[in-house]
Structure 1
Amino acid sequence: MAADNFPHVLVVDDDAAIRELVAGYLGENEFRVSGASSGKEMSDALERFAIDLVILDLRMPGEDGVQIAHELREQSTLPIIIVSGKRDEADRVMALELGADDYLTKPFSPRELLARVRALLRRAGSVTPAVGRTTDARAYRFAGWELNIGSRRLTDPAGASVELTNGEFCLLNAFLAAPGNVLSRDQLLESSRLYDDVYDRSIDVQILRLRRKIEPDPAHPSVIRTIRGAGYVFSVPVEKLTGGAMRMAAKELG
C-alpha cells in the first residue's frame, strides 16, 4: 500500500517528545501521523485531513481534556485512544464513559500502542453500519491526493490545500464516487449540479479547470481521461473512507 494511503493517525499531546515517539514508531509501521498540541490544533487537523484514529492525552496543561474528548465523540465516530499519566481506575472509567474506545497509561510501550491502534482499526473497519446510518464516503484518497467531503478540502500529495470552486468540488466528488466508470456529460451535469449553464459543453470547461489542478500534465491528462463519443473516466485507483475508519491492510506483529 502506498504511503499516501496509509491510515492517518492524529496524536494530540502537549509533550513534543511523546508526539515524536508515536509518529516515529507508527510511521515505521505503515501509518501516516499528524501531531497536535492543543484542542485548537486538533480541530484544525480534523478539518484539514481525513483522520482515521485519534490518540488523545487527557491531561494537558491549560486544556480541558475531558471536554475535548466529549466534544470529539459527539461530533465524530472516530476511534479514540485516551492516554493519561494517571493510573487510577476513576480516570479509566471516565475515559470510557466519554466514549473512548481504549485507554493507555503513561509511560506506555510503543509496541502495545501499535497493537491497540491496529486492533481498533480492524474493529472499526469490520463493523456493519446500523440500519438507517449513512454509509456515504467522508473522504476519498487517490494518487496521494485526499478530498475531505465534510470540509470540502482538497489536499495535494505534499499536504498543501488546493482551492476548489463549488462546481469543481461537486464534479470531482462525482468522479471519485464512480472511479473507472465512463460518465457521460449528462451524468456529470446531474451529479455536479451545474445547472446554470444551458450547454453541456460547460462540463468540458469545468473538467479543463479541474485537470489544471490535479493532473501531473494537464495537456496530456492521465487522471481524468476523455472517452470520445461517450464522456469521461476517472482512471486512477480511489480509496473510499467511510464511517470513521478506513479499511486497513493490517499486519500481524512479528
Structure 2
Amino acid sequence: MSRLRLTGISKSFGAIQALSDVSLEVAPGEVLGLMGDNGAGKSTLVKIVAGNFRPTHGSISIDGDTVDFHKPRDAQRQGIEVVYQDLALCDNLSAASNVFLGREPRRRVAGFRFLDYSTMHRRSAELFAILKSETRPRDLVRRMSGGQRQAVAIARTLLSNAKIVLMDEPTAAISVRQVSEVLDLIHRLSDQGISVVLISHRMPDVFAVCSHIAVLRRGELVASKLAKDSSPEEVTGLITGAIETA
C-alpha cells in the first residue's frame, strides 16, 4: 500500500494552469526526488500536499484513505510535515526549544505552570541520537552549521510522529561536508519508515538518496521512474524539454 497517493492533481490560479493531472505514489520509507525547473509546479504540488492549497481537481490519499485538507493543520494531523528551505528556526533559542516550538511541555509547581526544560532537553537528545547528529539540546541555533540546523528541523518532524516529510531544497547554500550530513539525515528518516519527498536542483544529491525520481515540466508530470533506471543526463533532458517523456 502506498503511504501517499496523488491522483489527477490539477491546480489553476485564474487563467494560469499551475498543475495538470499529476499522479504520483510514494511508498513507506521511500525517498522521492521531485525535480523540475523554476515554475514547473514543484512548490505548488508540495503546498497542496501540505494543506496550503486545495487542488482544483484530483484527490490525495494517505495509507489508502482519501483525505481533504483545508489548512496545513489538517495535513499535520495526517502525519505530513514540511522542512522549508529557510527552516523556520528561531536563532536566539536553543536546539531543544526549537524542536518543541509551539508544543512545549509544562509542569506545575506550587500552582504555577512552567516550561519543562528537562523533558525538552531529554527528548531532544533522544531525537538527535536517532538521527546520529552531533547537535546538542542546549546549543543555540545561531551558532550552528547548516547541517546542524537541518538536524533541528528534522528532529521537530520526528517529535510529531511524521509519516511523510516534504523537504524543500535542504542542501542549498551549505558546504560540501554539511551536504553529506543532511543526506545522512534523510537516510535516517527513511530508516525510520518515514516517506520523504525531496525537492532539489542538485542532481548528485537526488541520485545519492532517492530511490524514485519524478520530473515536472510546465505543470505536467513528464517522468516518474526508479532512480536506478535513469541518469542525470536523462533527468536534465526531461527538465529542459530536450527529452519529452520517460
Q: Could you tell me the TM-score, scaled by structure 1's length?
A: 0.28
The structure that has the greater radius of gyration is: 1
Q: Larger % of strand: which?
A: 2
